[in-house]
Protein backbone atom coordinates (compact mmCIF):
# COMPACT_ATOMS: atom_id res chain seq x y z
CA UNK A 1 0.00 0.00 0.00
CA UNK A 2 1.15 3.52 -0.80
CA UNK A 3 1.18 5.81 2.26
CA UNK A 4 1.31 9.61 2.17
CA UNK A 5 1.07 12.15 4.97
CA UNK A 6 -0.54 15.48 4.14
CA UNK A 7 0.51 17.93 6.85
CA UNK A 8 -1.67 20.78 5.57
CA UNK A 9 -4.79 18.67 5.98
CA UNK A 10 -3.52 16.80 9.10
CA UNK A 11 -4.42 13.51 7.48
CA UNK A 12 -2.57 10.37 6.41
CA UNK A 13 -3.59 8.79 3.11
CA UNK A 14 -3.07 5.07 2.45
CA UNK A 15 -3.89 3.65 -0.97
CA UNK A 16 -5.59 0.28 -0.49
CA UNK A 17 -6.09 -0.16 -4.23
CA UNK A 18 -6.31 1.91 -7.40
CA UNK A 19 -9.86 2.85 -6.44
CA UNK A 20 -9.79 3.00 -2.64
CA UNK A 21 -7.90 5.23 -0.22
CA UNK A 22 -8.04 5.14 3.56
CA UNK A 23 -7.78 8.54 5.24
CA UNK A 24 -6.65 8.69 8.87
CA UNK A 25 -7.34 12.03 10.54
CA UNK A 26 -5.53 13.56 13.48
CA UNK A 27 -8.47 12.74 15.77
CA UNK A 28 -8.00 9.04 14.97
CA UNK A 29 -11.00 8.55 12.73
CA UNK A 30 -10.49 6.45 9.62
CA UNK A 31 -12.50 6.92 6.47
CA UNK A 32 -12.30 4.77 3.37
CA UNK A 33 -13.14 6.40 0.07
CA UNK A 34 -13.66 5.12 -3.46
CA UNK A 35 -12.51 7.68 -6.02
CA UNK A 36 -14.69 6.20 -8.78
CA UNK A 37 -18.03 5.53 -7.09
CA UNK A 38 -17.39 8.46 -4.67
CA UNK A 39 -18.73 6.32 -1.83
CA UNK A 40 -17.18 6.57 1.63
CA UNK A 41 -17.58 5.02 5.07
CA UNK A 42 -16.36 5.69 8.59
CA UNK A 43 -14.47 2.63 9.83
CA UNK A 44 -15.64 1.46 13.25
CA UNK A 45 -19.04 3.12 12.88
CA UNK A 46 -20.36 2.20 9.43
CA UNK A 47 -21.70 -1.31 8.89
CA UNK A 48 -19.43 -3.97 7.44
CA UNK A 49 -21.81 -4.14 4.49
CA UNK A 50 -21.29 -0.45 3.69
CA UNK A 51 -17.53 -0.74 4.14
CA UNK A 52 -17.44 -3.70 1.78
CA UNK A 53 -19.52 -1.82 -0.78
CA UNK A 54 -17.07 1.09 -0.73
CA UNK A 55 -14.19 -1.29 -1.41
CA UNK A 56 -15.87 -3.23 -4.21
CA UNK A 57 -18.24 -0.87 -6.02
CA UNK A 58 -16.19 1.00 -8.62
CA UNK A 59 -19.08 2.09 -10.83
CA UNK A 60 -18.87 5.65 -12.11
CA UNK A 61 -22.23 7.40 -12.03
CA UNK A 62 -22.54 10.08 -14.70
CA UNK A 63 -25.43 12.48 -15.12
CA UNK A 64 -27.44 11.94 -18.32
CA UNK A 65 -29.33 15.23 -18.11
CA UNK A 66 -28.86 17.71 -20.95
CA UNK A 67 -28.75 21.49 -20.55
CA UNK A 68 -28.65 24.34 -23.06
CA UNK A 69 -26.35 27.35 -23.01
CA UNK A 70 -27.27 30.23 -25.28
CA UNK A 71 -24.55 32.79 -26.00
CA UNK A 72 -27.41 34.89 -27.32
CA UNK A 73 -25.60 38.25 -27.12
CA UNK A 74 -22.02 39.03 -28.07
CA UNK A 75 -22.34 42.70 -27.12
CA UNK A 76 -21.40 44.21 -23.77
CA UNK A 77 -21.70 47.63 -22.16
CA UNK A 78 -18.62 47.11 -19.96
CA UNK A 79 -14.95 46.55 -20.67
CA UNK A 80 -13.72 44.57 -17.67
CA UNK A 81 -9.94 44.40 -17.42
CA UNK A 82 -9.93 40.64 -16.80
CA UNK A 83 -12.53 39.70 -19.44
CA UNK A 84 -11.07 36.76 -21.33
CA UNK A 85 -13.62 37.18 -24.14
CA UNK A 86 -12.75 40.78 -24.99
CA UNK A 87 -9.04 40.51 -24.30
CA UNK A 88 -8.72 37.57 -26.69
CA UNK A 89 -11.15 38.77 -29.36
CA UNK A 90 -13.06 35.50 -29.05
CA UNK A 91 -16.19 36.44 -30.97
CA UNK A 92 -14.22 38.34 -33.59
CA UNK A 93 -12.22 35.17 -34.25
CA UNK A 94 -15.47 33.20 -34.56
CA UNK A 95 -17.15 35.76 -36.81
CA UNK A 96 -19.84 36.33 -34.17
CA UNK A 97 -18.87 39.72 -32.72
CA UNK A 98 -21.56 42.27 -31.82
CA UNK A 99 -24.40 39.95 -32.75
CA UNK A 100 -27.75 39.10 -31.20
CA UNK A 101 -29.54 35.80 -31.69
CA UNK A 102 -32.89 36.30 -33.44
CA UNK A 103 -36.13 35.58 -31.61
CA UNK A 104 -37.18 32.89 -34.08
CA UNK A 105 -33.85 31.09 -33.86
CA UNK A 106 -33.82 31.24 -30.07
CA UNK A 107 -37.37 29.90 -29.85
CA UNK A 108 -36.55 27.06 -32.23
CA UNK A 109 -33.61 26.08 -30.02
CA UNK A 110 -35.88 26.00 -26.97
CA UNK A 111 -38.35 23.79 -28.84
CA UNK A 112 -35.47 21.54 -29.87
CA UNK A 113 -34.35 21.29 -26.24
CA UNK A 114 -37.88 20.49 -25.09
CA UNK A 115 -38.10 17.62 -27.55
CA UNK A 116 -34.64 16.35 -26.59
CA UNK A 117 -35.48 16.42 -22.88
CA UNK A 118 -38.78 14.64 -23.52
CA UNK A 119 -36.95 11.87 -25.36
CA UNK A 120 -34.63 11.46 -22.36
CA UNK A 121 -37.49 11.52 -19.86
CA UNK A 122 -35.86 14.58 -18.28
CA UNK A 123 -38.32 16.72 -16.36
CA UNK A 124 -36.16 19.70 -15.45
CA UNK A 125 -34.91 21.80 -18.33
CA UNK A 126 -32.21 24.39 -17.59
CA UNK A 127 -31.09 27.14 -19.97
CA UNK A 128 -28.06 29.31 -19.21
CA UNK A 129 -27.42 32.71 -20.79
CA UNK A 130 -23.74 33.46 -21.16
CA UNK A 131 -21.56 35.11 -23.80
CA UNK A 132 -21.28 38.78 -23.12
CA UNK A 133 -24.17 40.83 -21.66
CA UNK A 134 -27.56 39.08 -22.24
CA UNK A 135 -29.52 42.31 -21.77
CA UNK A 136 -27.73 43.87 -24.74
CA UNK A 137 -30.07 41.57 -26.67
CA UNK A 138 -33.19 42.36 -24.68
CA UNK A 139 -35.81 41.86 -27.38
CA UNK A 140 -34.76 38.24 -27.83
CA UNK A 141 -34.23 37.60 -24.13
CA UNK A 142 -37.66 39.05 -23.35
CA UNK A 143 -39.41 36.53 -25.58
CA UNK A 144 -37.55 33.61 -24.06
CA UNK A 145 -38.03 34.44 -20.38
CA UNK A 146 -41.79 34.11 -20.78
CA UNK A 147 -41.47 30.39 -21.59
CA UNK A 148 -42.14 28.60 -18.33
CA UNK A 149 -41.18 25.18 -19.68
CA UNK A 150 -37.63 26.03 -18.65
CA UNK A 151 -35.59 27.23 -15.70
CA UNK A 152 -33.48 30.17 -16.88
CA UNK A 153 -30.18 31.27 -15.33
CA UNK A 154 -29.23 34.77 -16.49
CA UNK A 155 -25.71 36.11 -15.85
CA UNK A 156 -25.64 39.91 -15.97
CA UNK A 157 -23.61 42.93 -14.95
CA UNK A 158 -26.93 44.43 -13.82
CA UNK A 159 -26.53 47.85 -15.43
CA UNK A 160 -29.03 47.58 -18.31
CA UNK A 161 -32.03 46.71 -16.16
CA UNK A 162 -35.21 48.77 -15.84
CA UNK A 163 -38.66 48.16 -14.37
CA UNK A 164 -39.88 46.17 -17.37
CA UNK A 165 -36.83 43.94 -17.47
CA UNK A 166 -36.89 43.41 -13.72
CA UNK A 167 -40.51 42.25 -13.96
CA UNK A 168 -39.41 39.46 -16.31
CA UNK A 169 -36.54 38.47 -14.04
CA UNK A 170 -38.97 38.23 -11.12
CA UNK A 171 -40.74 35.25 -12.71
CA UNK A 172 -40.49 32.10 -10.57
CA UNK A 173 -38.64 30.08 -13.22
CA UNK A 174 -35.88 32.70 -13.65
CA UNK A 175 -32.75 33.06 -11.53
CA UNK A 176 -30.51 36.10 -11.98
CA UNK A 177 -26.78 36.08 -11.23
CA UNK A 178 -25.24 39.53 -10.74
CA UNK A 179 -21.50 39.77 -11.39
CA UNK A 180 -20.07 41.58 -8.39
CA UNK A 181 -16.59 41.05 -6.95
CA UNK A 182 -17.18 42.58 -3.54
CA UNK A 183 -17.42 46.16 -2.33
CA UNK A 184 -16.66 49.03 -4.68
CA UNK A 185 -12.93 48.90 -3.98
CA UNK A 186 -12.92 45.26 -5.13
CA UNK A 187 -14.61 46.09 -8.44
CA UNK A 188 -12.24 48.59 -10.00
CA UNK A 189 -11.26 46.05 -12.65
CA UNK A 190 -14.91 46.13 -13.76
CA UNK A 191 -16.63 49.46 -13.09
CA UNK A 192 -15.67 52.92 -14.26
CA UNK A 193 -17.35 54.70 -11.36
CA UNK A 194 -19.04 54.19 -8.03
CA UNK A 195 -22.30 55.14 -9.77
CA UNK A 196 -22.19 51.90 -11.79
CA UNK A 197 -21.57 49.91 -8.61
CA UNK A 198 -24.51 51.56 -6.87
CA UNK A 199 -26.77 51.07 -9.90
CA UNK A 200 -26.13 47.34 -9.86
CA UNK A 201 -27.01 47.12 -6.18
CA UNK A 202 -30.11 49.25 -6.69
CA UNK A 203 -31.34 46.92 -9.43
CA UNK A 204 -30.55 43.89 -7.28
CA UNK A 205 -32.63 45.28 -4.41
CA UNK A 206 -35.52 46.11 -6.75
CA UNK A 207 -35.54 42.55 -8.06
CA UNK A 208 -35.55 41.09 -4.56
CA UNK A 209 -38.43 43.37 -3.60
CA UNK A 210 -40.34 41.91 -6.56
CA UNK A 211 -39.70 38.42 -5.21
CA UNK A 212 -37.15 37.44 -7.85
CA UNK A 213 -34.53 34.78 -7.22
CA UNK A 214 -31.03 36.23 -7.34
CA UNK A 215 -27.46 35.85 -6.23
CA UNK A 216 -23.94 37.01 -6.98
CA UNK A 217 -20.95 35.74 -8.94
CA UNK A 218 -17.51 36.72 -7.64
CA UNK A 219 -14.34 36.44 -9.69
CA UNK A 220 -11.38 35.95 -7.36
CA UNK A 221 -8.46 38.22 -8.24
CA UNK A 222 -5.66 40.31 -6.78
CA UNK A 223 -8.02 43.02 -5.52
CA UNK A 224 -10.31 40.78 -3.46
CA UNK A 225 -8.52 37.50 -2.66
CA UNK A 226 -7.61 38.65 0.86
CA UNK A 227 -11.13 39.84 1.70
CA UNK A 228 -13.36 36.99 0.50
CA UNK A 229 -14.66 36.01 3.94
CA UNK A 230 -15.59 39.61 4.76
CA UNK A 231 -17.18 40.02 1.31
CA UNK A 232 -19.32 36.89 1.68
CA UNK A 233 -20.38 37.85 5.20
CA UNK A 234 -21.32 41.34 4.00
CA UNK A 235 -23.32 39.97 1.07
CA UNK A 236 -25.22 37.59 3.35
CA UNK A 237 -25.94 40.22 6.00
CA UNK A 238 -26.86 43.13 3.72
CA UNK A 239 -28.24 41.53 0.55
CA UNK A 240 -29.50 38.06 1.59
CA UNK A 241 -28.82 36.38 -1.77
CA UNK A 242 -30.10 32.92 -2.63
CA UNK A 243 -26.60 31.90 -3.61
CA UNK A 244 -23.08 33.14 -4.25
CA UNK A 245 -20.64 31.85 -6.84
CA UNK A 246 -16.85 32.01 -6.74
CA UNK A 247 -14.55 31.53 -9.67
CA UNK A 248 -10.82 31.55 -10.25
CA UNK A 249 -9.82 34.08 -12.92
CA UNK A 250 -9.60 32.73 -16.45
CA UNK A 251 -6.69 33.26 -18.80
CA UNK A 252 -7.18 36.70 -20.30
CA UNK A 253 -3.92 38.04 -21.73
CA UNK A 254 -0.80 36.66 -23.34
CA UNK A 255 2.07 36.76 -20.89
CA UNK A 256 -0.10 37.93 -17.98
CA UNK A 257 0.05 35.29 -15.26
CA UNK A 258 -0.90 37.59 -12.39
CA UNK A 259 -4.45 36.29 -12.38
CA UNK A 260 -3.30 32.68 -12.20
CA UNK A 261 -0.93 33.46 -9.36
CA UNK A 262 -3.41 34.18 -6.62
CA UNK A 263 -2.36 32.59 -3.35
CA UNK A 264 -3.90 29.11 -3.72
CA UNK A 265 -3.01 27.83 -0.20
CA UNK A 266 -4.63 30.96 1.24
CA UNK A 267 -7.61 30.45 -1.07
CA UNK A 268 -8.03 26.88 0.19
CA UNK A 269 -7.98 28.09 3.78
CA UNK A 270 -10.60 30.68 2.85
CA UNK A 271 -12.81 28.03 1.22
CA UNK A 272 -12.81 26.03 4.45
CA UNK A 273 -13.93 29.12 6.34
CA UNK A 274 -16.60 29.75 3.72
CA UNK A 275 -17.88 26.20 4.10
CA UNK A 276 -18.57 26.93 7.77
CA UNK A 277 -20.34 30.16 6.80
CA UNK A 278 -22.42 28.28 4.23
CA UNK A 279 -23.46 25.70 6.81
CA UNK A 280 -24.20 28.33 9.44
CA UNK A 281 -26.41 30.47 7.23
CA UNK A 282 -27.76 27.81 4.89
CA UNK A 283 -26.40 29.81 1.97
CA UNK A 284 -25.56 28.10 -1.32
CA UNK A 285 -21.94 28.71 -2.37
CA UNK A 286 -21.74 27.12 -5.81
CA UNK A 287 -17.95 26.68 -5.97
CA UNK A 288 -17.96 24.68 -2.75
CA UNK A 289 -21.19 22.87 -3.56
CA UNK A 290 -19.92 21.68 -6.94
CA UNK A 291 -17.15 19.76 -5.16
CA UNK A 292 -19.17 18.59 -2.16
CA UNK A 293 -22.27 17.47 -4.07
CA UNK A 294 -20.60 14.44 -5.72
CA UNK A 295 -19.74 13.08 -2.29
CA UNK A 296 -23.40 13.33 -1.32
CA UNK A 297 -25.24 12.09 -4.39
CA UNK A 298 -22.47 10.01 -5.95
CA UNK A 299 -22.52 11.85 -9.29
CA UNK A 300 -19.03 11.76 -10.80
CA UNK A 301 -17.87 15.19 -11.94
CA UNK A 302 -16.30 14.27 -15.25
CA UNK A 303 -16.03 17.85 -16.48
CA UNK A 304 -15.46 21.08 -14.59
CA UNK A 305 -17.33 22.97 -17.30
CA UNK A 306 -20.59 21.45 -18.45
CA UNK A 307 -20.29 23.45 -21.67
CA UNK A 308 -18.05 20.60 -22.82
CA UNK A 309 -20.05 17.92 -21.02
CA UNK A 310 -23.81 17.67 -20.88
CA UNK A 311 -24.51 21.23 -21.97
CA UNK A 312 -25.05 22.14 -25.61
CA UNK A 313 -23.79 25.64 -26.48
CA UNK A 314 -25.08 27.84 -29.30
CA UNK A 315 -23.72 31.09 -30.74
CA UNK A 316 -25.94 33.97 -32.00
CA UNK A 317 -25.86 32.51 -35.52
CA UNK A 318 -27.21 29.22 -34.18
CA UNK A 319 -23.92 27.42 -34.69
CA UNK A 320 -23.34 24.77 -32.03
CA UNK A 321 -19.91 24.90 -30.44
CA UNK A 322 -18.05 23.03 -27.70
CA UNK A 323 -16.22 25.96 -26.08
CA UNK A 324 -16.30 29.35 -27.75
CA UNK A 325 -13.01 30.41 -26.19
CA UNK A 326 -11.02 27.33 -27.18
CA UNK A 327 -12.68 27.09 -30.57
CA UNK A 328 -11.57 30.62 -31.38
CA UNK A 329 -7.92 29.65 -30.86
CA UNK A 330 -7.65 26.00 -31.92
CA UNK A 331 -9.47 23.24 -33.76
CA UNK A 332 -10.89 21.62 -30.66
CA UNK A 333 -12.87 18.39 -30.96
CA UNK A 334 -15.02 16.37 -28.59
CA UNK A 335 -12.41 13.60 -28.65
CA UNK A 336 -9.73 16.06 -27.56
CA UNK A 337 -11.85 17.30 -24.67
CA UNK A 338 -12.61 13.72 -23.65
CA UNK A 339 -8.90 12.88 -23.56
CA UNK A 340 -8.21 15.91 -21.37
CA UNK A 341 -10.85 15.04 -18.75
CA UNK A 342 -9.17 13.85 -15.52
CA UNK A 343 -10.66 10.36 -15.80
CA UNK A 344 -8.79 9.92 -19.12
CA UNK A 345 -5.76 12.17 -18.50
CA UNK A 346 -2.51 10.45 -17.48
CA UNK A 347 -1.54 13.59 -15.52
CA UNK A 348 -4.40 12.78 -13.12
CA UNK A 349 -3.65 9.08 -12.82
CA UNK A 350 -4.13 7.91 -9.25
CA UNK A 351 -5.56 11.20 -7.96
CA UNK A 352 -8.06 10.67 -5.14
CA UNK A 353 -9.99 13.83 -6.06
CA UNK A 354 -10.61 12.82 -9.67
CA UNK A 355 -14.38 12.58 -9.20
CA UNK A 356 -14.95 16.02 -7.64
CA UNK A 357 -12.57 17.98 -9.85
CA UNK A 358 -13.40 17.92 -13.55
CA UNK A 359 -10.01 19.37 -14.47
CA UNK A 360 -10.84 23.06 -14.17
CA UNK A 361 -11.69 25.44 -16.98
CA UNK A 362 -10.36 23.90 -20.22
CA UNK A 363 -9.67 27.36 -21.63
CA UNK A 364 -7.41 28.37 -18.75
CA UNK A 365 -5.96 24.86 -18.52
CA UNK A 366 -4.76 24.94 -22.11
CA UNK A 367 -3.60 28.54 -22.19
CA UNK A 368 -1.70 28.47 -18.89
CA UNK A 369 -0.70 24.85 -18.25
CA UNK A 370 0.87 21.98 -20.18
CA UNK A 371 -1.25 18.99 -19.19
CA UNK A 372 -4.70 20.29 -20.25
CA UNK A 373 -5.62 20.59 -16.56
CA UNK A 374 -6.00 23.79 -14.55
CA UNK A 375 -3.38 22.93 -11.95
CA UNK A 376 -4.74 25.53 -9.55
CA UNK A 377 -7.82 23.32 -9.25
CA UNK A 378 -5.63 20.27 -8.59
CA UNK A 379 -4.30 21.75 -5.39
CA UNK A 380 -7.74 22.96 -4.29
CA UNK A 381 -9.46 19.62 -4.81
CA UNK A 382 -6.74 17.49 -3.25
CA UNK A 383 -7.02 19.54 -0.07
CA UNK A 384 -10.81 19.89 0.00
CA UNK A 385 -11.51 16.17 -0.44
CA UNK A 386 -10.31 15.07 3.03
CA UNK A 387 -11.77 18.23 4.53
CA UNK A 388 -15.20 17.35 3.12
CA UNK A 389 -14.92 13.72 4.22
CA UNK A 390 -14.16 14.97 7.72
CA UNK A 391 -17.26 17.18 7.67
CA UNK A 392 -19.50 14.46 6.23
CA UNK A 393 -18.45 11.90 8.82
CA UNK A 394 -19.34 14.34 11.56
CA UNK A 395 -23.00 13.77 10.70
CA UNK A 396 -23.16 10.34 9.05
CA UNK A 397 -21.30 7.04 9.03
CA UNK A 398 -21.40 6.44 5.27
CA UNK A 399 -22.42 7.70 1.85
CA UNK A 400 -25.26 5.18 1.88
CA UNK A 401 -27.19 7.24 4.44
CA UNK A 402 -30.50 8.13 2.75
CA UNK A 403 -30.83 11.28 4.84
CA UNK A 404 -27.60 12.86 3.56
CA UNK A 405 -29.33 15.05 0.98
CA UNK A 406 -31.57 16.53 3.66
CA UNK A 407 -28.63 17.10 5.98
CA UNK A 408 -26.68 18.95 3.30
CA UNK A 409 -29.42 20.80 1.46
CA UNK A 410 -27.18 23.80 0.84
CA UNK A 411 -24.89 21.57 -1.23
CA UNK A 412 -27.57 20.30 -3.61
CA UNK A 413 -29.72 23.42 -3.82
CA UNK A 414 -31.14 24.34 -7.19
CA UNK A 415 -33.49 27.13 -8.23
pLDDT tier at 260 (50, 70, 90 boundaries)?
low
Q: Is 372's pLDDT higher than 90?
A: yes
pLDDT score of 81: 84
391 domain-assigned: no
Is 175 part of a structural domain of the chain? Answer: yes
For the residues of 104-115, what is the DSSP string, one character each?
Answer: HHHHHHHHHHHH
Q: What percent of the chain has pLDDT over 70?
A: 94
Q: What is the mean pLDDT of the chain?
A: 92
The sign one gets for the Cα dihedral 355, 361, 363, 366 is negative
The confidence band for 399, taking pLDDT boundaries of 50, 70 and 90, is very high
Question: pLDDT tens across 278-292, in order?
Answer: 999 989 999 999 999
Q: Would you say residue 270 lies in a domain? A: yes
- Is residue 91 a part of any domain in this protein? yes
Other CB atoms within a 10 A radius of the CB of residue 40 amount to 28
Residue 217 inside a domain? The answer is yes
Please state whether 31 falls in left (phi above 0), alpha (psi between -120 and 50) or beta. beta
Q: For 60-103, where are the E strands, in sequence order?
A: 67-73
Residue 376 counted as domain residue: no
Which of helix, strand or coil describes residue 352? coil
Whether the per-residue pLDDT at 114 is higher than 50: the answer is yes
Mean pLDDT, residues 2-29 taken together:
80
Alpha carbon distances (Å) from 109 to 44, 112, 175, 291, 317: 53, 5, 20, 30, 11
CATH code of residue 136:
3.20.20.70
At 240 the pLDDT is 96
Q: Is residue 253 scored above 90 in pLDDT?
A: no
Q: Is residue 312 part of a domain?
A: no
Domain span holding position 287:
67-297
d(CA 128, CA 149): 14
Number of compact structural domains in the chain: 1
For residue 252, the model assigns a pLDDT of 75
Residue 98: its pLDDT value, please?
96
- Cα Rg, the chain, nearest whole Å: 21
User: Does residue 360 lie within any of the structural domains?
Assistant: no
Strand pairing of 40-42 and 67-73? unpaired
What was the pLDDT predicted at 257? Answer: 58
pTM of the model: 0.93
| Structure letter (DSSP) for residue 299 | B
* DSSP letters for 376-387: HHHHHHHHHHHH
CB atoms closer than 10 angstroms to residue 256: 13
Q: In what order do the strands lie in the sheet with 40-42?
A: 2-6, 11-15, 20-25, 30-34, 40-42
Q: Is the predicted pLDDT of residue 5 greater than 70, yes or no?
A: no
Amino acid sequence: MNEKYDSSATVRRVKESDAVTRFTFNDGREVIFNRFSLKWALIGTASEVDISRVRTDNEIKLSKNVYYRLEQSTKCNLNCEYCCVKRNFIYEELGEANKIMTVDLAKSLLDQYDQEANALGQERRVVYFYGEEPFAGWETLKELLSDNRFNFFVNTNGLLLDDERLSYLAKPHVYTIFSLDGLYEHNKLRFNSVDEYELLLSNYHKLRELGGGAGFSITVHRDNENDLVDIINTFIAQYKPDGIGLGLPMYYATGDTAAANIDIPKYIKTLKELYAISAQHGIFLSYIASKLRPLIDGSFRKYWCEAIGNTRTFLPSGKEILCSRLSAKMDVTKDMLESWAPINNTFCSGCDAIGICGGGCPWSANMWFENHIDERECEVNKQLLPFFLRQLTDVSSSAYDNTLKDKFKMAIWSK
